[in-house]
Amino acid sequence: MISLQGLSKSFRVPAGEQWVLRDIRLDIGKGEFLSIMGPSGSGKSSLLSVLGLLDGDWKGEYTFEGQALHSMKERDRKAFARDHVGFVFQHYHLLDDLSVQENLELPLEYRGVGRSERRERVDAALRRFEIEDKRGLYPRQLSGGQQQMIAVARAALLRPTLLLADEPTGALHSSQGELIMDLLCELNRDGITVVQVTHNPEYARRGQRLIELRDGQLVQ
């Protein structure tokens, strides 16, 4: 589904050029659950940002379901990402002033999904994730694990082809971390391709394949 060929990224720093990703060659199959590990600063988040098209400043080839994203204009890439990619971040990124219901509805509203379908989809997600009783609460009234559950539900509601999770359990206690991993596995079983960055070897093994980055290079 995804193919990266010779993908590289660097920053200009006073001392010259700092390479963050070097000549990455990576294929990710449709429906795969891939885990990425590596030391701090090895380029894991940078790779996820490129995969999710949050970052358009790289060289090389990136093909996604036959579409050559490297030849696409930045604006078209962003639109492509909106239609295909969901993100889950370590620190949830929920909007503090919005209730759970509103947090889940907002991205659907941005996509032009009508009010009644929005309600239906949000209701179904709340039922599925067994968080119906949290509907009217605000993020500060939820535990970290519950907030991350809402963030995963929010990403899943957009029905992405690819779900990217950057240390989704990094801020959670182990039982909450397990729960989030269960949810990611469940979404993967539904057919969503999942790529997670993690420092936890046990959670990394929940994926079907593990790759390792060192100094911006794929070593495994």
Ligand X SMILES: Nc1ncnc2c1ncn2[C@@H]1O[C@H](COP(=O)(O)OP(=O)(O)OP(=O)(O)O)[C@@H](O)[C@H]1O
CB 7 within 8 A of CB 61: yes
| Residue the block writes with tokens 């090895």 | 42
Minimum distance, C-beta of residue 177 to ligand X, in the bound complex (Å):
16
Taking CB under 6 A as the binding criterion, the range among 37-45, 122-130, 155-163, 180-188 that sits at the site for ligand X is 37-45
Q: Does 15 bind ligand X (CB under 6 A)?
A: no
C-alpha separations of 83 from 52, 110, 188 in Å: 11, 12, 18
**37 or 158, CB closer to ligand X?**
37
Does 196 contact ligand X by CB under 6 A? no
Using rule CB under 6 A, residue 110 touches ligand X:
no
CB 81 → ligand X: shortest distance, Å? 18
How many whole angstroms separate alpha carbon 75 and alpha carbon 108?
20
**DSSP code per residue over 30-97:** TT-EEEEE--TTSSHHHHHHHHTTS----EEEEEETTEEGGGS-HHHHHHHHHHHEEEE-TT----TT
Near ligand X by CB under 6 A: residue from 4, 35, 38, 184:
38
| Of the candidate residues 46, 148, 188, 193, the single one contacting ligand X (CB under 6 A) | 46
When the beta carbons of 13 and 133 are compared against ligand X, the nearer one is: 13
DSSP assignment string, 136-151: T--GGGS-HHHHHHHH
Applying CB under 6 A, what is the total number of residues that bind ligand X? 12
What minimum distance in Å lies between the beta carbon of 64 and ligand X? 20
- Measured from the CB atom, is 115 or 214 closer to ligand X? 214
Q: Which is nearer to ligand X, 122 or 164 (CB)?
A: 164
Question: Is residue 44 close enough to count as binding ligand X by CB under 6 A?
Answer: yes
Inter-axis angle of helices 100-110 and 144-157, nearest 10: 20
Contacting residue, 4, 33, 42, 152, with ligand X by CB under 6 A: 42
CA angle 96, 97, 100 (to 5 degrees): 75
Residue 13 binds ligand X, judged by CB under 6 A:
yes
- Tokens of residue 45, six digits: 């988040």
Contact set with ligand X (CB under 6 A): 11, 13, 18, 20, 38, 40-46
